A and B are shown apart, each in its own frame.
Chain A
Amino acid sequence: MSSYICGLDIGGTFTDCVLINEHGDLTIAKSPSTPSDFAVGVLNAIERAAVKIGLSTADLLDSINVLAHGTTVGTNTIIQRRGAKVGLITTKGHNDVIHIMRGSRGLAGQDIKLIVHIPESSKPKPLIPKRLIRGVSERVDCFGKIVVELNELEVETAIRELQDAGCEALAVCCLWSFLEPKHEQRIKAIAHEIAPEMYVTCSTDLAPKWGEYERTTAVALNAYIGPITVGYITRLDKQLKQMGYKPPLQITHCAGGTITVPKAQEAPLLTLDSGPVSGVTGSVFLGGLMGYPNVITTDLGGTSFDVGVIHNGSPVVSYKSTVNQYEYFLPKVDVQTLGTGGGSKVWIDQTTNSLRVGPNSAGADPGPVCYGKGGTTPTTTDADLVLGYLDPNNFAAGTIKLDHQAATKALQKIADELEMTLFELASGVATIAEFQMADLIRKVTVQKGLDPREFVVFAFGGAGPVHMGVAARELGVDKVIVPQGDTAAVWCAFGAASADILHVGEQAKIIASPFDLTEINKILNGLSLKGSQQLQSDGIEQAKHQFQYSLDMRHRGQINEVEVFIDSGILDEEVLGALREKFVARYEQLYGRGSAMHDARLEIVTARCRSSALSLKPKLKEFSLTLEPLSADAKTGTREIYWAEKKSVETTPIFNGYLFKPGNSAEGPCVVETETTSIVVHPRQEISMDTFRNFVINPNT
């Protein structure tokens, strides 16, 4: 019997299951997601996969070596605001940290309109109301020295009061605790004694970083989603065990790896946004196999456009994220989102009589006009249909029949108002959307010191291959890859299956140059020891442990930090000497030549250790390239399509994507269709199939 790697991903609509056997054969199964208890949908998807390969569920589970699972339970808990009632204990006098939100309106990640129009903006509903926040006497200073001992009596009173107020979870964050965690740990211990039923989480266990606002937010969010997420993971783990799955269940996290169940129970926050991150993880793996170290991953769905960047084989990460306007510390693969998707609304700015696309979206319900579900405002998808990019009878695997007439009528109205032809308007809508996408990609590359022309673009999501050819052309990218036909649709589950076990340990400690070698080594050593212990408790033998170290550094007195990688966890004088050069090189790469001050004092802010163990990797079949031309059967017919480049409607060939063989190619203009997407190939573009059966668009021949 074969052995399998299994990846699972819970999406908004479907739960996806991907099985990969030792030969690299893929089996894909989908089952509707079950929000009332997501575990049901997960088990259904596994069951369907088992049926597909002719095994019983028990037999399949018995033959799975690694089961990696991405969960949206935490994300949903936040969106639906149904998290736990949380109490917060913090340093007295600093109770209002997460209310003050660093004196901003919580604008991170918000639309520009909210920035410029103050009356439309507001702070989010408080994560923890003021009455459930207790300050206790204690204080640590910037040297990590305790200057006020913890008043345990106050702690006990606070916990009892919060318990009486009905708190199910307790977050603990004290000032400077990342330098001296004693008080936080003591508060946790007291809480366990007094209120053993409470879910308790300390900032130093989760994010020992410099900056009390983002640290408190992290721990508050962790507490907020804690009870529900932990409940779900525990339940699923138990069920899988009962059904015969023996190895430890792996949970994917937002730093691009997996963790075991106990770690996920301690830090459920790590699972937030792990879905889109898995898409990037899968791309790292595929990019590696295909020989692309630099990849821009794009996922264009109905309501959003997600972009991730892989540079030199590693995903670009960020250490501060935003959820619900709150910023929090957590190492995370950076996935930027734009509210532009197939559902972006087309409208006229009445005062200036100009054409606008988005950012408001018709969402999935009512969705675009052509869905016929009551939508009246035309969207990008309606424009795609009018242009001829989409086949009304073969959209989303034929599940939705598109109403061409309704889309035309809605767009014609706008065209008339602007005195444009219908096609001019529709192609204008597509162009505006494509330029917005190109702008976001520009932002996440150029503004990080990366040149998009050195990257290939992976286009995921149903709408991605429709528009990415033009966006890529704008950026000067010379390859757009539509991965693996079918697998592209379950890419996040595939990413889960290809993820390594990974723990990112961080320790903030601000150390100014000239650096004290002993001090730095002590911190790095502490991190690697912690990582090693974690891997051991994951059941990984020591020989497989891998460690990667980095330091976040900056000019003293300045704000911008850059991550400098170091080869070993033990620094010597020589490495220390090279550290400044490495810093300057990295700084100038990110911030521009001449931006670094060569003689200025430097500071180390955070030390980091990524402890990992490579997991079993799926294998992918590679095919040889055929020399035969594309079979005549592949052309399924023609459609009238408007091409902006030619400013005219042309009878355009339509191809069945499933009849392409590796090595086959076709010239634009044409459209290649699969069950889940339409790949639009513009004039002067070319499409081919590579040895992994991926489609490759050359955006500018």
Chain B
Amino acid sequence: MPRISEMTDVDFNGIENPYVPPKILKIASKLKLHQTWDKEVDPVTYEVIRHNLWQINEEHGATIQRLSGSPVAMYALDLNPSILTEDAEFVYFGPYMQYMSGVTDTQVKWTLEYRSENPGINEGDMFIANDPWVGAAHQQDVMLLCPVFWEGELFCWITNCLHQYDIGGITPGSFCPSAESVYEEGLMLPPLKIIENYEVRKDIEAVYLRSSRKPDLVALDFRAQIAGNTTARDRILELIKRYGAATLKGVMKRIIDNSEKSYLDKMSRLPDGEWSDRTYIEACRPGDRRTHRVMLGLRKEGNKLIFNNDGSAPQEGAMNATYSGWRGSVMVAVNELLCWDQYFACGGALRHIEFDPTPGTLNCADFPSSVSTAPIQAMEISLYPAYNVISKMIYPDPIMRKDIMCIGGTSQWPATLFRGIDQWGEKYGYLLIDPIGGAIGAFTMADGINTGGQARTPICQLPNVEHTEQNFPILFLYRKELSDSGGAGKYRGGLSAESCFIPHNTEFVTQDTLSSGNAIPTSPGLMGGYPSTTNAYTFVKDSNIFDCMALSQMPNDTDELLGNSVTLQLREQNFTQDPKDVYAVRWSGGGGFGDPFDRAPEDIEDDLESLAITEKSAETLYGAILGKDGHVDIERTREHRAKIRKSRVTEIKKSSRTGQLLSENSHSINIMRDDAGTYWACAKCDFELGDISENYKEHCVTENQSIAVSNPLIGDEARFIDNAVEFRQFYCCQCGCLLDNEIAIAEDPLLHDSRHQLS
């Protein structure tokens, strides 16, 4: 299948095909753009206005939260405000849901191209939009775009995006796990002028609210979005009046130029090359037991970064994302790893980044495939390879290396969609928000953060158990962090958690599951680090929980209960949880970094003390030997680790090449050069691992293990998928040290994850 760049005869206009903004936008001549600005702004004015613009965007976000007051806006922070120039370059993008950065500028550009002639873009207008082919992540993410005019010219754009409870579709909440196309999903609006000359168009608002099961809440959120835009617009106009339009625009352009400068500086410090990563989605519809491959490729050519999804599986069922959703996923990693020092002002970087996916694939789906689950499936799964490929790209630079993050928790969202009659006698439907507690993956110099949230939303908060129990008829038996849930490594991934509940004060609860990453871990770890736990549903029918309650002997875990353990599939529909049925959901944790055998004994002791790992894992994964007092026996541990490493080496070879270090490619592998050329080498012993043109993995001792070996909380994949899953480990043929791991279904070839053009 061809990539977008190869499809020269197709109109990517956001109707049948995704909207891909052209380099030069076609804007109606009647729309005048404000395009004169001061090239020189003194540093003090610059800093004062820069700070003001950041504050305006902050106040915009705060306004939405205050007015909306919905759990989505307040806990999950599934929103984002931004400021863009007249031609839709990002000036500031808020620190909330990062996916939305990839879907914001595209929608503004589309509006400029397709709405500037008819109905026209005028002062006092705002456009509502949620069409995933134009640029929304999925239908629930409703964007409100506000052009800001000064003296008859379009000066800039203020936008916000806010996830809505329900905008229709076959499943309450509008995540539709069994949909086969968008026709079964929520309302879709290509950018539509809902506010005209400062007045809400009541007819259009009515259309917008009509499909929702919760029109009151959608209406309130719409008020919040209007107020957010209005606040920001007014403050922008105040700034213009005070400093002049040319100065303000000069600052906006310089913010972007500065972010570009910072980006270019980073690129200049990095070698060119190609990186790729691979992961999988499990089950695209109820009954599906296949895996669907998700690929991400990154090529760096000088200052340019080009992302592709070559080799990703075709679109199917209800697991897909559109072009803009996929672009949004990649942008999360770009923002957090490359643009954090510019506070996510990614406009400058975007001048040099190209997105070139293949249409018809699960993460660049064509109309009208189902995309309502995108942010918790196809986008989520596309995001984490993006962290990995960028992390591999920036590793050679010792400063940028500190910005690397392994994949964090809830790398696929194990959804609990439940509904019924609540303890107050009213109908309810809800997506359990607990997995937002996620975990942060390991860093290159430190452990990840236990239940530190989902990295893609840098600010988020779980509701308290008491909040959830007040609003829904359930009783939590526990919500706890899990020992061993973080990926093992020199630096350990953050722990994730598990929530467990029974129905309470209701006759029963009706549930759907919607998950992936239950068979194959989706938080795999980096550069020798191990994966975290998989997602997991536990369901014990007819348990003895009532006896436990009557005897005041409550369980700490589902495995202390008696009853019939049922394996829930990943797209189970309409199953019933009766009051004696215990349900638990565990989400994936953070991946580990580096070889676990390199973990310092005192860190392992801390892990044991803080219940981050079990004694068994200390021995099996970390190669630690514990003394009788429970402390790590440092001497015996060293000997034990050395012995295991030695046992991996089947034939002792002497390194034939003694070149000079050219680049530290990863934590475990260097690039070296001698007279004969450039080659891979073990970072510990310098042993040659093949010519730079080859895949170093082919020159390692390879051990294919069951995936369950990689983390004690990962069970048998055969419960959910038909493919066998391998944990492939690559050791140095000379010193036996672990160089890297790879998780793949058995039929997939070795991943060639790094290619370099070093001169």
Contacts and interface: CB of A to CB of B under 8 A. Distances in A.
A, B assembled together: yes
Contacts of A428: 42-44, 47
A141 B475 contact: yes
B554 A92 contact: yes
Contacts of A424: 42, 44
Contacts of A447: 59, 62, 66
Contact of B262 (A135, A352, A432): A352
Contacts of B440: 105, 118
B466 interface: yes
A63 to B, nearest CB: 51
Interface residues of A, number: 84
B261 A435 contact: no
A94 B464 contact: no
A104 B475 contact: no
Between A115, A143, A351, the greatest number of chain B beta carbons within 10 A of the residue's beta carbon is seen for A351
Interface in B61-84: 62-63, 66-67, 69-71, 74-75
B69 A117 contact: no
B66 A560 contact: yes
A431 B75 CA distance: 36
Interface in B384-443: 402-405, 423-424, 434, 436-438, 440, 443
A139 B449 contact: no
A625 B728 CA distance: 88
A578 interface: no
Interface in B641-685: none
A95 B471 CA distance: 22
Contact of B462 (A95, A102, A122, A176): A102
A591 B67 contact: yes
Nearest to A428: B44
Contact of B69 (A149, A175, A214, A559): A559
A104 B227 contact: no
A102 B466 CA distance: 12
Interface in B32-66: 42-44, 46-48, 50-52, 55, 59, 62-63, 66
A632 interface: no
Residues of B in contact with A, size category: 35 or more
B248 to A, nearest CB: 15
Interface string B339-364: 01111100000000000000000000
Contacts of B67: 591-592, 595
Contact of B449 (A122, A355, A435): A122
Contacts of B423: 142-143
Interface in B445-503: 445-446, 449-453, 455, 458-467, 469-471, 475-481, 497, 500
B40 to A, nearest CB: 11
B258 A351 contact: yes
Contact of B405 (A95, A107, A119, A214): A119
Interface in A141-191: 141-143, 147-151, 154, 175-176
A142 B470 contact: yes
B336 interface: yes
Contacts of A100: 437, 450-451, 462, 479, 481, 497
B452 A93 contact: no
A92 B476 CA distance: 11
B503 to A, nearest CB: 12
Nearest to B462: A103
A107 B227 CA distance: 26
B460 A355 contact: no
Interface in A126-141: 126, 129-131, 135, 137-139, 141
Contacts of A357: 47
A436 B478 contact: no
Nearest to B454: A103
Given A92-B556, A151-B552, A117 B450 contact: no
B44 A123 contact: no
B562 interface: no
Interface stretch (B21-29, B118-126, B145-153, B216-224): B216-224
Nearest to A595: B67
A112 B66 contact: no
Given A103-B436, A559-B69, A597 B556 contact: no
B549 A95 contact: no
Given A352-B261, A355-B43, A115 B458 contact: yes
Given A211-B464, A351-B261, A129 B44 contact: no
A590 interface: yes
Contact of A147 (B342, B475, B480, B611): B475
A154 B455 CA distance: 38
Contact of B458 (A92, A116, A510): A116
A572 B50 CA distance: 54
B8 interface: no
Contact of A592 (B66, B451, B471): B66
Given A96-B497, A129-B610, A139-B554, A105 B453 contact: yes
Interface of B: 42-44, 46-48, 50-52, 55, 59, 62-63, 66-67, 69-71, 74-75, 95, 216-217, 220, 223-224, 227, 258-259, 261-262, 265, 336, 340-344, 402-405, 423-424, 434, 436-438, 440, 443, 445-446, 449-453, 455, 458-467, 469-471, 475-481, 497, 500, 504-505, 549, 552-556, 609-611
5 contacts: A102-B464, A103-B460, A118-B405, A559-B75, A597-B216
Given A351-B261, A559-B71, 17 more contacts: A92-B554, A94-B465, A94-B478, A99-B451, A103-B451, A116-B95, A118-B449, A123-B450, A130-B611, A131-B610, A137-B552, A141-B475, A210-B466, A420-B43, A442-B55, A447-B66, A557-B217
Nearest first, the 7 A-B pairs at minimum CB distance are A103-B437, A93-B478, A428-B44, A352-B258, A558-B69, A103-B462, A560-B69
